[in-house]
Amino acid sequence: MLHSLEAYEMINSHLSRILGQRLDDGNAIAPISKLRVGQVYAASIMYGYFLKRVDQRFQLEKSMKILPWGTKDQDASIEQSIPDESRPFVGKSHPEAEAPSRSSPGASSPGFADRIKPCRLRTYVMSFDADTLQRYAAIRSKEAFGIIEKHTEALFGRPEIVITPQGTIDPSKDELIKISFGGLKRLILEAVTFGSFLWDVESYVDSRYHFVAN
């Protein structure tokens, strides 16, 4: 198995944040910004790199039985903390429309005993302080960062970015491509897997040549 079950859950959550209601609408085709797709692809590579790194620590602490405990309320707070700009393809009528709220006014609140459950990888990540989270999310070597950049450019080309006087990106220089949401899903999964392999390869090479800075 390439990923642990806990990591697969995180990957599905990553897909849901990006594609929203379009996640299961695989055959629908829409014109989408090529620049935005490239940005999402690169971000998903870095997410896969981070996920493989943090899951190794999670599985180690799980085997040692020293994991913290978490609640369903913590998981809900994680979803609410995700900024809208990280979900570029959600919505019904347009790929960049906002997703509707998942909460309902009449929802009942379960008791504390019902909320307690063994720690999940999602809750485990949220238990990190800011410095630890930043360290785990960072690409460790300039070689790995260069690979991400070159691989993304090989697929989507070098973007021509023009900044307007208002400080925004000039959309007239951006190219629209037509791709199905099923194709986007496969691209994102490919990118996450690439990032996971990149962590493995970087760690393997570093074990022999020690080129990664502490």
pLDDT band at 89 (very low <50, low <70, confident <90, very high): low
Q: Which residue has the tokens 């900044």?
A: 163
- Alpha-carbon distance of 206 to 38, in angstroms, equals 28
Give yes or no for residue 96 having a pLDDT over 90. no
Give yes or no for residue 7 having a pLDDT over 50. yes
Q: Give the C-alpha distances (Å, rounded to integers) separating 34 from 6, 109, 157, 158, 174.
A: 31, 43, 9, 11, 7
Q: What is the model's pTM?
A: 0.74
Q: pLDDT by residue (tens digit) across 14-66? A: 999 999 888 888 788 988 889 899 999 999 999 999 999 999 999 998 888 88
Q: Give the C-alpha distances (Å, rounded to integers) separating 50 from 76, 133, 160, 200.
A: 21, 10, 28, 11
Map out the domains of the chain as residue ranges: 5-87+112-209
Q: Which amino acid is at 127?
A: S
pLDDT number for residue 212: 87
Give the long-range contacts of residues 92-97, CB within 8 A, separation 24 or more. Answer: 92/21, 94/30, 95/22, 95/30, 95/32, 95/181
The answer to whether 199 and 54 have CB atoms below 8 angstroms apart is no
Over residues 112-140, the mean pLDDT reads: 78
- Alpha-carbon distance of 17 to 19, in angstroms, equals 6
